[in-house]
Amino acid sequence: MASLSAAISHSPHIFSPKSLPHHGKPKKICQSQCRALPLPGRSPICRMSFVSRWESRGTSNTRIFTSVRDVLLDESAEKVQLPKGDTWSVHKFGGTCVGSSERIKNVVDIIVSDDSERKLVVVSAMSKVTDMMYDLIDKAQSRDESYISALDAVLEKHKSTALDLLDGDELASFLSRLHHDISNLKAMLRAIYIAGHTTESFMDFVVGHGELWSAQMLSSVVRKNGVDCNWMDTREVLIVNPTSTDQVDPDYVESDKRLEKWYSQNPSKIIIATGFIASTMQNIPTTLKRDGSDFSAAIMGALFRAGQVTIWTDVDGVYSADPRKVSEAVILRTLSYQEAWEMSYFGANVLHPRTIIPVMQYSIPIIIRNIFNLSAPGTKICHPLFSDKEGAQNVESLVKGFATIDNLALVNVEGTGMAGVPGTAHAIFGAVKDVGANVIMISQASSEHSVCFAVPEKEVKAVAEALKSRFRQALDAGRLSQVAVIPNCSILAAVGQKMASTPGVSATLFNALAKANINVRAIAQGCSEYNITVVVKREDCIKALRAVHSRFYLSRTTIAMGIIGPGLIGSTLLEQLSDQAAVLKEEFNIDLRVMGITGSRTMLLSDVGIELSRWRELQKENGEVADLEKFAQHVHGNHFIPNTVLVDCTADSVVASHYYDWLRKGIHVITPNKKANSGPLDQYLKLRALQRQSYTHYFYEATVGAGLPIISTLRGLLETGDKILRIEGIFSGTLSYIFNNFIGKRAFSEVVAEARQAGYTEPDPRDDLSGTDVARKVIILARESGLKLELSDIPVQNLVPEPLRASASAEEFLQQLPQYDQDMTNNRQVAEDAGEVLRYVGVVDVVNQKGLVKLQRYKKDHPFAQLSGSDNIIAFTTTRYRSQPLIVRGPGAGAEVTAGGIFSDILRLASYLGAPS
């Protein structure tokens, strides 16, 4: 330090009173000169790292100048007592608010238009200036001569701004002070350049100039608008004591004394004060460290006992979550002090926790406002106000917001030798402290078998090495089993004062995470219950944030959807989704976002959601070659949407074979495709087992009765303890239509051709007449009832004449079918002679553990005989419904009802994932 001290002590620019910076109003010569002298609280030069050298040459100079100033001021000014209380409003403007001449004019408009009786304005340096000042020091101590041009850039930024804003004496006065300061800074930086290093005091002194200049300039512009005001160098007033944690603690008693003295000499109803900077008790300049301007505004608010402190920024207020991660985040109108500091600790862009402490003790509210959107009311941070309406707590109001911290690692120290051993935690965290790491979160089981804590990822290597070294003997002896590191973690915190003592909040939170297929690695909750903290994989963080935010009704339940098979049913479903999307968003808070549509040849993908009203047009313009694996990955890969569902509208067994992998990856599946549930029994059982052990949903209501609630009715009976005895029904809308119209003198082939013409049958009617589709529905219901049957176990009466089963085409089949009409006509005549009708039915005989599909005769008063059109009917005979079966009846075929059944499953999924029911 000797070379730096020598360089400074021989610099005429530093110690000549005439050359020292003028940081005051040039109203009186004595006052202006005194402000340039090395006085306590006035010139920060007087106490630096070279203080001992200066004092050895005689400290009497300092005392003489101080006494001269005091005498002059005491004689020239009457004592004016500072009026404290609600008449004062404090405004804090950050660097972006004063980043240009236009923005400074906006600030002046706000100051002037505020109708408070008295106003204190705390101002930061102009945007980027503090970074520029730090850069000056870095360049100087690196012996990079470009610090000179960098300092010129600082000068030019403030000079050009002043020329835009000021004129006359105000401009001349400001530019004079600016040039004095730049001259002194140049000399100091030269000394740092020669020495090759600096001290913290020098650094704090240099970087604090940005606030000095912006405060002086702003006060000049206010005066130019015809409003009298004084500016305050808060180093004269705000006294702080450095701590061992690179922070400072305000000395309120000493600061209050100095404020009273300052105000008695500078009484004004508008004061423009510097943010960020302060002094120590020894009058050494310092800063308030991180978020220092907000902190200084809160301290000044407490010293003045102000009515409120308004923090002006570039956002509309405090959001319920980071809006860059959750687009549906909402502005919170109020936050308690505790909620605000919990959210800020966990990474939310609110306020530094220390900012809240000074105002909290005097119940001074903090208002967060957007200087670029004055119409936004902002967020008020204050003591909670519990109204009568809020007494009836509901789940929406319990959690105020969510915050996240990324780039963390978990350290887990575990071993049986830890249990019941005093001092183990002390030793663990002592080792962590020794390497200077910051512990973000701690979790310990009551068994004391392990201690888990989170640290920044960049510090975890040093922490792990320190712990292994500290516990080497215990690890070698087996008392500790491991010191494990789990990298790539993030913290998610739910914050809300009303969470305290309210049952069910944790359950709701973890349920939302589970349904989004998020694994929780560690948990912590303080006894205050103001926050619940969980650790998740870093890649799951945004997905987890959106899932819990959605679950607590702070945003829509958003589901990423992929539609497979845009044929008749799939395209009808897309039309229904398009028609209903706006209503679902507005009334039910559900956002169904189709991220992809794929057929067998072409697929259409989107990162934000396909415009469903023109999906066919978009598919032609932007379609690409279909790739089912890429399709699923795209739909599921959007981490901004926590829940994914693939809707299979095909009858393809290849697509169905992917269900297991999709469910295993956390993708929900909805389908009318019967192939998976009626395929090989072992694959079906594997699929259902996976579904039951996870929170991934597999819905297939439309596999049996199109839009009819058959599967859900069966499940409801079983889940409530009823026992299924028999299920019997007409499961095919096609065959229902055919036999409902096979009456009178009509030929069977004529009715089949008519059904095909009307679109009731498959393109090849043999697919319906073979009975295979009904058999698949029977096997699905049999398996739902607990029977372990294969499709081959179901005897099926095939209605296709055996010679025609090998016909080359559907047309050839229909041409030859009239040759076999007589057999079916004979069957109808026998039934009519007995007062009966023919119906094609499927039967699940649970008692005898079998199923069958056949053409059956029913009396004309039987419910099955009274169908019309393509209706389906299913009768459940159970222990509760033994004498009179439970009957479900309705349309069982057609694209509209089948798509409606699928849509119903989609909405059921949304309800399970948190949408209001």
Residues known to be catalytic: 777
Q: Which of 47, 50, 81, 80 is nearest to 62 (CA)?
A: 47
Torsion of CA 186, 192, 196, 197, to 10 degrees: -140
Residues β-bridged to residue 369: 312
User: What's the maximum distance between 2 C-alpha atoms anywhere in the chain?
Assistant: 132
SS3 content of the chain, % helix, strand, coil (to 5): 45, 20, 35
Strand order, beta sheet including 308-313: 230-232, 270-274, 118-123, 88-93, 308-313, 366-370, 379-382, 334-336
Q: Pull the structure tokens for residue 107.
A: 């600030």
Q: Which of 439, 541, 438 is nearest to 488 (CA)?
A: 541
Q: Pull the structure tokens for residue 828.
A: 């109808």
Give yes or no for a contact between 658 and 628, defined as CB atoms under 8 angstroms apart.
Answer: yes
CA neighbours closer than 13 Å in the CB half-sphere of residue 64: 4
Phi, psi of 234 (to 5 degrees): -65, -10
Q: Pull the structure tokens for residue 577.
A: 């989704």
Residue 366: strand, helix, or coil: strand
Residue 444: strand, helix, or coil: strand
Q: Give the separation between CA 747 and CA 750, rounded to whole angstroms.
A: 5
Q: Pull the structure tokens for residue 734.
A: 């096609």
Report strand pairing: 379-382 vs 366-370: antiparallel
Q: Give the separation between CA 338 and CA 611, rounded to whole angstroms.
A: 43
How would you class 620 by CB atoms within 10 Å of its CB: exposed for 0-12, middle for 13-18, buried for 19 or more? exposed
Residue with tokens 């004004």: 268
Residues β-bridged to residue 533: 493, 524
Cβ burial 449-486 (10 Å sphere, 16+ → b, else e): ebbbbbbbbebbeebbebbeebbeebbeeeebbebebb
Q: Pull the structure tokens for residue 587.
A: 């009334």
Q: Pull the structure tokens for residue 78.
A: 């009457």
Q: Pull the structure tokens for residue 144.
A: 């990079």
DSSP-derived secondary structure letter, 796:
B
Give yes or no for a contact between 140 and 192, defined as CB atoms under 8 angstroms apart.
Answer: yes
Q: Give the separation between CA 86 and CA 306, rounded to whole angstroms.
A: 5
Give yes or no for a contact between 126 and 99, defined as CB atoms under 8 angstroms apart.
Answer: yes
Q: Give the separation between CA 131 and CA 96, rounded to whole angstroms.
A: 13
Residue 411: strand, helix, or coil: strand
| Residues counted in the chain | 917
Cβ burial 303-337 (10 Å sphere, 16+ → b, else e): bbebbbbbbbbebbbbbbbbeebbebbebbebbbb
Q: Give the separation between CA 903 and CA 671, rounded to whole angstroms.
A: 10
Q: Give the separation between CA 417 and CA 427, rounded to whole angstroms.
A: 14
Q: Kindly provide the residue ranges of all beta strands, DSSP E only, lying in 440-503, ordered along the sequence.
A: 441-444, 450-456, 482-495
User: Which residues have a Cβ under 8 Å from the Cβ of 475 and sit 6 or more positions away?
Assistant: 468, 481, 482, 483
Q: Give the separation between CA 701 and CA 189, rounded to whole angstroms.
A: 77
